[in-house]
Amino acid sequence: MFFSRFLTNNIIPILSVYIFIFYFFIRILYIYYGIESVINIWYYRIFFYLPIVLWFVLILKDYFMLFSNLKKNKFLNTFLFLYLIIFMYIIFHHFFGLEYITMLVTKFQVKMLFYAILNILLGAYLYKSLTELYFQKVIFIVWLIYTLILIFNINYFTTLEYKASALRLLLSDPYVLISIIAIFINIKNKYLKIILFTLVLFLAYVLKSRATFYSLLVVYIFFIIKELGFKNFFVLCLFALVSLVVLNNLNLITLDTRMFGVLQGKSDGSLNERLLQFEYGLEAIKNNLIFGQYAGQIIIHESGYRSGEMGAYMHNFLSYWRQFGIVFFILFVYLYLNATLRLLKEWIYNSNKINQTLFYLVLFFGIESLLFRSYSNTYVWFVLGIVYMYFNTSKKEFSENSNINSLK
């Protein structure tokens, strides 16, 4: 009994923090810098996958020790049901489904399922660390290093457009996720928070990921209103708008065509491509209302447009319907909408650093999923995991932990 409690109370939280940092930071840098020539990829896999295997084993042990409580755990049961739907789709369509479901397609879907499960469990088991002083310090140091790396690489992202297109997707969302957690659980002074979060918004702009930048901009608006109030927010917006117009007219700054071209009425190849994918996705949903069209982006359409690339799916929340059917879609939307509204209510009436952090996370990834990202964006599951475990934990426990840390 003592050993089991030791594993649950000590090793699992430590492994959760380690895997979180490795997954959202070290893994990103390893891929970004392409350092497999310096550090063998097998060392990378050992330090990444072996802790994950041990972590999974300990989590399963923890689950089965509390098996009698699983029936009451709506949070766990709901997500297990969602993953069961995905798993059944993968198995059925690979062995009994249509001929376009190749081994390559199946591997891609299994990978997405693995990372979805990893993310939601990681979020669920990391949530208590938000009030732990050691984690708050570690995550801030990680954010600081991440920020310095991006600052020192600003010219790289503004000049190497083609190669940077893949890197911006790799770097942007994990950076924002770490930034929100690091800033809002560590910084109390509102003016310092404004400075640091403005820096994050600027770096999101530099990375040129429009989905990340515009989603973060909405979060930034909520944040400024919360810290400064509506009146000061409008004054700040007016000042920023006038400054941008003046500086642009004086040719002191140039608006990036990728980031603002659509707003200026310019043609955009990426947007046109997404609109075409959206059109095909709606057609697929209309023809497969109940069960969706799993991996339907592989199909060659009559118009000659081939969506055989893995990234050629609908880039919005309807992609869940297209892939996994209406039951999955309704449950997913309900879970996310419920989380957002509950956190919004707390953010307005009973705000503290924990629910502020979680609200900004759920808002950011919610906007991305609604308008820009697809079902393949597995970071959404991390947010759902950490938020619903927060709901499952009494506010008294969070308050007690926060008070203890404040006395240290």
With a pLDDT cut of 70, the percent of the chain lying above it is 75
Predicted pLDDT of residue 340: 95
The predicted pLDDT at position 159 comes to 46
Residue (of 371, 392, 378, 390) closest to 86 by Cα position: 378
- Calculate ∠ Cα 162-166-171, nearest 5°: 130
Identify whether the C-beta of residue 12 lies closer than 8 Å to the C-beta of residue 62.
Answer: yes
pTM across the whole model:
0.86
The pLDDT, as a whole number, for residue 307 is 47
Sign of CA pseudo-dihedral 380, 375, 373, 107: positive
pLDDT tens, 223-275? 999 999 888 888 888 887 777 777 666 665 566 666 565 555 555 666 777 78
Of residues 89 and 196, the one with the higher pLDDT is 196
Domain boundaries, the chain: 1-67, 78-407
The widest CA-to-CA distance across the chain, in whole angstroms, is 72
Q: Which residue has the higher pLDDT, 358 or 157?
A: 358
More confident: 61 or 113: 113
The secondary structure of the chain in percent helix, strand, coil, rounded to multiples of 5, reads: 80, 0, 20
Span 174-188, pLDDT tens digits: 999 999 999 999 999
DSSP string covering 368-397, please?
HHHHT--TT-THHHHHHHHHHHHHHS-HHH
Please report the pLDDT score of residue 380 as a whole number. Answer: 95
| pLDDT at site 6 | 45
Name the average pLDDT for the chain: 80
**Residue 396: which pLDDT band, with cuts at 50, 70 and 90?**
very low
Encode pLDDT of 161-174 as tens digits: 444 555 677 788 99
Mean pLDDT lowest among 66-70, 233-237, 268-272, 317-321: 66-70
Q: What is the mean pLDDT of residues 105-120?
A: 87
Instruction: Select, from the ranges 41-45, 148-152, 394-398, the one with the highest average predicted confidence (pLDDT).
Output: 148-152
Are 329 and 321 a contacting pair, CB within 8 Å? yes
Ramachandran bin of 187, using left for φ above 0, alpha for ψ from -120 to 50, beta for the remaining angles:
beta
pLDDT at 206: 83
Residue 125: exposed, middle, or buried by beta-carbon count in 10 A (0-12, 13-18, 19+)?
Answer: buried
